[in-house]
């Protein structure tokens, strides 16, 4: 079906199941350890072998010799995969990284070999015996050194125009009576998901089946086909449960590609998992950025000019981090200029990580907005309210589908007690702690994409839904089941949701905050078709039939739903498409984050004391799961604000702290009580579900809210993330 206009008579609007806080339908499998993740799949009939990847010991150059005899002679070794026996390997359409040095080495820990043995322990021991000779080349590892020289990349590397201009930014900025011109930096960050990248690959003739941990099945099939040089219809991916991804498992990585190659070479299934220390340098990451923000305003606080110039680095052919995505539509201002530039760095590929673009972009923009409010002598909330806009200033003034940003700000300020904030920094103490409050706005694109689903009704009245959608811990199983239950008038106990199989109807998968609204709309479309089939089978007029409480009713007649399938299962499949909606409406989600921190006056130690998020994301299909997602995003944002940073060895070209001992992420002791609430809204222009994604909005704006709170507590403005105590100590109020 094609969705063009708001749905009229809509079964979803009954809200008997949709919109209710609902436990995970697969939760019991996870808490009992019976949900099979990629590495845990087991077939006792399979003669399974194990692969361990050997990563390059240099950052740039080539392999001059491989010494494999000792490894091949080790106990249990079946084969050693290298570029010499792997066959030709291509690249996918989304990542630019190559999965095997051939013999060119592009970055540190790029795979140079994969040792396959009867057991994991044997494979690991033999991998340590592989010896590699390299010819090293000089590499580029310093982003700041290329600030003055890095070019604007082609549009294909930016996901849109890398440079956008509205009005006369330079003239308006020069003429503005109040101006800000500051530079902010964000570091390289790792996904650090709980489950590592893992795959079990097996061939049956020329057909490949992989149990793998991947977020977007359609991309995975496409990119694996391109990598191996085989047709897509010969590949089946299975990923029913994923232990986190954050964008780092969007499509094919080395575990999937090399497990498939190794399985083909040895003629038996092969299991490969990346060890934790390999994941930081051998997979993608969020790239570091340098961002210059310029804002000009009238003395009463109205923005007249806003400019954002941003730089990140990547492998040759890589993509930009689209940090200006948040600056383009967020605030009013007649004169605007944004530019993305891309340096060449010989580090692991920079690519999608939760809320790519907006998350690091807001880390700069929302500190700049705070600084500008201070220069104007305005409250930060009031400054943002004054510069709200109901049309997208960069898209010809098209209206936002919905934009309750001001409601988020005002609701959050009242609920958090913003009126108790000290307007003058470094003036509020609680014993040895300097106490401050900060806030930041949040915006994240509300993408929605073509999505299909298949639904089946059996004679017991059970509805089974099949979609290739994945669940990375976000609750996809539950919202799929809720949608089908609402549409077919049954309880959740009468719905079976089957996910994560590339042979099922295609969805966008888990990524870009589009999975939830897209897949539920696809399920809605398929259920509409199933309702018509049920009505026809029972002899009802499909325009005058109701589905509720397991019954189908029309007029004075009521029939159990399962009766429609007594003669055989009824199956319906459909795909929903959205036409030009994204051109007629600016589709975004909005929010506001508020934070209170304490900073030790003697040591500079920072502790987040409490936080609040107020989010607007259309209809919330499952408030319990959505709140969990937002709180998870807030936790991740605290990490970005205060601790997360991959440090680059600029001589040898690799991330030094490539494990969870050296790369710090928040733990329970770092996280206080977090509160998340939702503005009551629906967006009828988005889909029949009237919902938007929310999984990435909860991260956007968190880090600058914390950074702004640290400034309010100490009077020390830090523009270089993470905000660590060493950046505060010599500038603290009581410092000598």
* Catalytic pick among 321, 366, 371, 696: 696
Contact 234, 207 (CB under 8 A): yes
Q: Which two tokens stand for residue 262?
A: 């190794």
Nearest to 198 by CA among 278, 138, 127: 278
Dihedral, 296, 298, 301, 303 alpha carbons, nearest 10: -40
d(CA 557, CA 588): 44
Least Cα distance to 25 among 624, 576, 734, 686 occurs for 624
Q: Is 686 exposed, middle or buried (0-12, 13-18, 19+ CB in 10 A)?
A: buried
Phi-psi region of 210 (alpha: psi -120 to 50; beta: other; left: phi over 0): beta
Tell me if 409 sits within 8 A of 696, measured CB to CB: no
Q: Say how many CA atoms lie within 13 Å of 454 toward its Cβ.
A: 15
b/e map of 582-609 (b: 16 or more CB within 10 Å)?
beebbbbbbbbbbbbbbbbbeebebebb
Closest C-alpha among 524, 417, 419 to residue 467:
524
Half-sphere exposure of 332 (CA within 13 A, CB side): 16
Question: Which residues are CB-neighbours of 116 under 8 A, at least 6 positions away?
Answer: 49, 50, 51, 77, 78, 79, 80, 81, 123, 262, 265, 266, 270
**CA quadruple 21, 24, 27, 30: dihedral, nearest 10:** -120
Q: 26: which 2 tokens? A: 């697969």
Catalytic residue status for 664: no
Look at the chain and count its residues: 736
Residue 587: DSSP 8-state: -
Sign of CA pseudo-dihedral 646, 647, 653, 654: negative
Contacts of residues 63-66 at CB distance under 8 Å and 24 or more positions apart, as own/partner, are 63/101, 63/103, 63/105, 63/112, 63/132, 63/133, 63/134, 64/103, 64/133, 64/134, 64/135, 65/132, 65/133, 66/112, 66/113, 66/130, 66/131, 66/132, 66/133
Active site residues: 696
């Amino acid at each position: 079906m094609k969705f063009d206009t708001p749905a009229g008579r809509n079964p979803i609007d009954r809200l008997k199941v949709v919109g209710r806080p609902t436990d995970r339908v697969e939760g019991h499998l996870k808490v009992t350890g019976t949900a099979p993740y990629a590495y845990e799949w087991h077939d006792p009939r399979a003669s399974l072998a194990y692969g361990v990847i050997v990563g390059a010991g240099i950052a740039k150059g080539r392999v001059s010799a491989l010494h494999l005899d000792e490894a091949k002679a080790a106990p249990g070794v079946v084969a050693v995969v290298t570029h010499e026996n792997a066959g030709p390997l291509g690249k996918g359409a989304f990542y630019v990284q190559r999965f095997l040095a051939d013999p060119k080495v592009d970055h540190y820990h790029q795979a140079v070999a994969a040792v396959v043995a009867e057991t994991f322990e044997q494979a690991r021991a033999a991998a340590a015996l592989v010896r590699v000779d390299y010819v090293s080349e000089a590499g580029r590892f310093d982003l700041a050194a290329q600030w003055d020289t890095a070019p604007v990349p082609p549009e294909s590397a930016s996901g849109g125009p890398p440079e956008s201009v509205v009005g006369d930014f330079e003239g308006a900025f020069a003429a503005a009576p109040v101006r800000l011109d500051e530079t902010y930096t964000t570091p390289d960050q790792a996904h650090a998901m709980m489950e590592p990248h893992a795959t079990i690959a097996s061939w049956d003739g020329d057909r490949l089946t992989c149990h793998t941990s991947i977020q977007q099945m359609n991309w995975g099939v496409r990119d694996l086909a391109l990598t191996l040089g085989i047709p897509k219809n010969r590949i089946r991916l299975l990923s029913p449960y994923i232990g986190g991804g954050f964008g780092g498992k969007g499509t094919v990585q080395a575990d999937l590609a090399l497990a498939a190659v190794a399985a083909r070479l040895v003629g038996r299934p092969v299991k490969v998992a990346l060890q934790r220390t390999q994941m930081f340098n051998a997979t993608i990451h969020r790239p570091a950025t340098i961002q210059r923000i310029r804002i000009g305003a009238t003395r009463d606080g109205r923005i007249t000019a806003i400019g954002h110039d941003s730089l990140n680095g990547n492998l040759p052919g890589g993509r930009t981090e689209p940090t200006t995505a948040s600056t383009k539509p967020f605030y009013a201002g007649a004169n605007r200029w944004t530019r993305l530039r891309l340096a060449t760095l010989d580090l692991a590929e920079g690519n999608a990580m939760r809320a790519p673009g907006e998350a690091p972009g807001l880390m700069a923009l929302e500190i700049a907005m705070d600084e500008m409010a201070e220069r104007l002598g305005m409250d930060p909330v009031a400054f943002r309210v004054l510069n709200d806009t109901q049309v997208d200033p960069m898209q010809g003034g098209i209206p936002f589908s919905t934009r309750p940003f001001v409601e988020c700000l005002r609701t959050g300020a009242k609920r958090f007690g913003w009126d108790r904030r000290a307007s003058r920094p470094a003036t509020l103490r609680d014993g040895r702690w300097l106490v401050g409050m900060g806030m930041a706005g949040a915006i994240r694109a509300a993408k929605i994409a073509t999505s299909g689903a298949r639904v089946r009704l059996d004679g017991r009245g059970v509805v089974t839904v099949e979609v290739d959608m994945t669940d990375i811990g976000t609750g996809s199983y539950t919202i799929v089941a809720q949608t089908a239950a609402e549409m077919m008038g049954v309880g959740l106990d009468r719905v079976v949701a089957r996910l994560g199989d590339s042979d099922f109807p295609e969805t966008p998968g888990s990524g870009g905050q589009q999975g939830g609204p897209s897949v539920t709309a696809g399920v809605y479309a398929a259920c509409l078709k199933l309702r018509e089939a049920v009505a026809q089978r029972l002899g009802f007029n499909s325009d005058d039939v109701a589905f509720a409480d397991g019954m189908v009713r029309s007029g004075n007649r009521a029939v159990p739903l399962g009766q429609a399938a007594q003669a055989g299962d009824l199956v319906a499949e459909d795909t929903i498409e959205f036409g030009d909606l994204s051109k007629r409406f600016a589709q975004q989600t909005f929010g506001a984050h508020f934070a209170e921190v304490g900073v030790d006056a003697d040591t500079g130690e920072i502790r987040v004391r409490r936080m609040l998020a107020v989010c607007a994301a259309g209809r919330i299909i499952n408030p319990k799961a959505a709140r969990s997602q937002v709180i998870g995003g807030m936790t991740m944002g605290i990490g970005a604000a205060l601790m997360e940073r991959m440090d680059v060895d600029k001589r040898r070209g690799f991330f030094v702290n490539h494990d969870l001992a050296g790369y710090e992420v928040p733990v329970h002791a770092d996280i206080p009580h977090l509160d998340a609430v939702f503005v009551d809204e629906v967006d009828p222009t988005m889909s029949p579900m009237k919902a938007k994604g929310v999984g990435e909005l909860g991260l956007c704006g968190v880090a600058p809210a914390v950074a702004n709170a640290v400034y309010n507590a100490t009077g020390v403005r830090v523009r270089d993330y993470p905000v660590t105590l060493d950046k505060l100590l010599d500038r603290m109020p009581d410092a000598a």
